[in-house]
Amino acid sequence: MTEPISCLCGSKRSIPIKPRERFEIPIAFAICLRCGHIYAKNILNQRALDDFYSSKLYRSLYGGLSVQEHVDKLNFPEKTETALWRIAKPFLPEKNGAVLEWGSSGGWNLIPFRDFGHSVLGLDVNVSYLEAGRKTYGLDLEIIDESTFKALEQRQFDLIILNHVLEHLTEPQELLRKLARSSSPNTIYLIGLPTIEAIKDYGFHNYFTVAHIHYFSKFSFESALNRSGFSLIETHRTHGGLTFVAKLSDSSNKSSGFRGVLYALLVVAFHYTKYKIRRIARILFELTGIYRIFRK
């Protein structure tokens, strides 16, 4: 059911930080001692992953709405300036830019780009969300299959969006390299991730989940970008993590090294300590309540 993996930098040296994910599935998490990247040491094999993502369990864990209800809820008025749109706007032509989103789901991230005059294409593996997005928004949404990369190589995009996608992939750097074939030196990448800076939003226990393989920090993701042939332009704090602006580059294969390791250790230690203190406080509070009941 599970199989071991190494860090994205290739190192197998790591420090364990958590033996199970938040639903008590025995997937262990560790910090790489070479670059500071946090990742799942053992992951569901491809068949188990496919079954998980296509199951009703996955959607029940991450929201109980039906596909159409979810798509309808996320619809918004014409020309709404979303956070992703505001970040991307300075890098796009005024009109007629070409925008691709890999992992578009129902296409809601693409609506502002279309409304402000750009051509958009969304790609995803979930047929139900693609159909609901086409029906509700009238967007160009296509299924990802074995012909997708070949088709993309015939096109060039001004902007490529990967919003909360890379953390789900065993080899996110490989996807970046493949998408680079549909890029020019001026193509901008908008990449949103639930980075470890967002542990404070989720809580230490709930942050680590079977659905995510990689837990980037601002340092370890810049290293991953460099290894994939990209350079970082900007970083923005967005809901649930950070959004990175990047482009193709000839930058050297830089690593976050000691700085990345120390940063990850400090972030994890801080939030783990806070989590334990809250658990102890809750136990003491409950014991105090029980004591008062018996005193009566």
**Residue type for position 264:** A
Helix (H, G, I), strand (E, B) or coil at 280: helix
Max distance between CA atoms of the chain, in angstroms, equals 78
Report the C-alpha gap between 49 and 40 in whole angstroms: 14
Residues in a beta bridge with 50: none
72-81 contacts, C-beta under 8 A, 24 or more apart: 72/136, 74/106, 74/108, 75/108, 75/111, 75/136, 75/137, 76/108, 76/111, 78/115, 79/112, 79/115, 79/116, 80/111, 80/112, 80/115, 81/112
For every residue of 160-228, DSSP letters joined together read EEEES-GGG-S-HHHHHHHHGGG--TT-EEEEEE--GGGHHHH-HHHH--TT-SEE--HHHHHHHHHHT
Query: What is the model's pLDDT at position 157?
Result: 96
Mean pLDDT for each consecutive 10-residue tract of the chain (296 residues)?
Answer: 87 94 90 96 79 68 66 73 95 95 94 96 93 92 95 94 95 95 93 95 92 95 94 93 93 72 94 90 76 59
Query: What is the model's pLDDT at position 229?
Result: 93
Query: What is the model's pLDDT at position 3?
Result: 84
CB-based contact 111:105 (threshold 8 Å):
no
Query: What is the model's pLDDT at position 248?
Result: 95
Report the C-alpha gap between 13 and 31 in whole angstroms: 9
Closest Cα partner for 137 from 76, 59, 190?
A: 76
pTM equals 0.88
| Residue 160, token pair as written in the block | 């490529």
Query: What is the model's pLDDT at position 79?
Result: 79
Phi, psi of 44 (to 5 degrees): -60, 140
